[in-house]
Structure 1
Amino acid sequence: MDLSPSRRLVLASQSPARLGLLRQAGFAPEVIVSGVDEDAISADSPAELARVLAEAKADAVSVRAEAAGALVVGCDSVLELDGQAYGKPADAEDATARWKAMRGRAGILRSGHCVIDTASGRRASATASATVRFGEPTDDEIAAYVATGEPLRVAGAFTIDGRAAPFVDSIDGNHGTVLGLSVPLLRQLLASLDVRVTDLWA
């Protein structure tokens, strides 16, 4: 019995969290980093920005020769707070200010997804959302967290699978959405392209 996937799956992201989510769900994706300049892209709302960024990453990778015939998945995340979109903080000072603004409050993590079937040219995209309720870390705890460097590498200046976990009280929505990739939404997008998720299991 052949247990190999029927199609190649390419992740257009260097995020270890996204790669880990896909592997845990039974996939064996290849990784091709898009190189998209995220700061050069804008949109009318945080949810749309997440989707447009995901589309830009998938587009950039799908035209490369090494992605020919593959299913390319692009993802990007932003944190929405007070109607504003926040990606990765610019520096430690920015990350500190973010955390002081977020503590004791709730934000919405928007994760855009785009799947491009390079064999057919068909595509599908959507945004998943999850509400994140932040705890109230002290100034000293925030300083210690920022000093680890972790918040500088992630959208919203936090990640629930790392050192920020003690500072997140609860999540309403899919856990993967907060990590940057909703596997249930990915299944829906693949289905809209007539691809069964089970056929991609490794």
Structure 2
Amino acid sequence: MIPVYLASSSPRRRALLEQVGLPFTVVEPRVEEEMDEQLPPHRLVEKLALRKASSVARQLTGGLVVAADTVVVLGDRVLGKPADAAEAISMLSLLAGNVHEVYTGLAVMEPPPGRRVVTHERTRVRFRPLTAEEIVNYVATGEPLDKAGAYAAQGLGAIFIAGIEGCYFNVVGLPLARLATVLQEFGLNLLRLSRENGVLPA
């Protein structure tokens, strides 16, 4: 099997790859997540994902690198990870009672000068109205502080979500259906891999 390297320090992305039974090695990218707000959101996340994948690919001589980057978009505002609790409160106050979009850029590439595929997924998320007390109490848990948009759909933040249109796993940080389709372009079929190698989700 082709060795797969995940260019991410995110425990959520690691858990999702484990969920679909894909063996992988984590190699953290050496990049700064700089937000270029001049780019449309889908191009921004593609650029950031490609930058992460390229950083890791340069350290390798073979295999396949998978990288992703996620942002939350409300109107014309791009929300990345909050810098502190105050910014998390501000972000959640904006999202409360509104519909926002989650974009994840996905980059899969062979170490240079190999092939690469860069794409993205978009999901619409509707938050129910939130009280100031709910927001403050949620931020006090610490969960929002390393999450794009200051919430975790797979965690306690789930109680704020009134509806989702599109890929749920995209909101968590890695659109699995799109990833499976891209991996097939590189000769990796997740269903066949699990069956042939006995690599099955827990």
Q: TM-score, normalised by structure 2?
A: 0.90
Could you list the per-position Cα deviations for residues 80-110 of structure 1 after superposition, in whole angstroms to 9, with x for gaps in the alignment? 1112211101111111011111100011000
Q: Quick one: structure 1 residues 116 and 78, their matched pair in 2 at CA, closer, same or farther if it must change by over 3 Å?
A: same
Q: Are 1:188 and 2:181 matched, yes or no? A: yes
The Cα of 1:145 is off from its aligned counterpart by 0.7
Contact 2:20 2:190 in 1 (8 A): no
2:16 is matched with: 21
Q: Quick one: structure 1 residues 40 and 103, their matched pair in 2 at CA, closer, same or farther if it must change by over 3 Å?
A: closer
1:170 is matched with: 163
DSSP 3-state at the match of 1:111: strand
2:62 is matched with: 69
User: Which of 50, 53, 57 is equivalent to 1:55?
Assistant: 50
2:94 is matched with: 101
The Cα of 1:199 is off from its aligned counterpart by 5.4
Q: Whole-Å Cα distance in 2 between the matches of residues 147 and 35 of structure 1?
A: 30
The Cα of 1:53 is off from its aligned counterpart by 0.5
DSSP 3-state at the match of 1:39: coil
Q: Structure 2 unaligned runs (5+)?
A: none
Equivalences for residues 69-148 of structure 1 within 5 A:
69-118=62-111, 121-148=114-141
The Cα of 1:118 is off from its aligned counterpart by 2.4
Q: Structure 1 unaligned runs (5+)?
A: 1-5
Q: Whole-Å Cα distance in 1 between the matches of residues 35 and 185 of structure 2?
A: 30
Q: Whole-Å Cα distance in 2 between the matches of residues 106 and 141 of structure 1?
A: 18
Q: Whole-Å Cα distance in 1 between the matches of residues 38 and 107 of structure 2?
A: 16
Aligned residues: 195
DSSP 3-state at the match of 2:69: strand
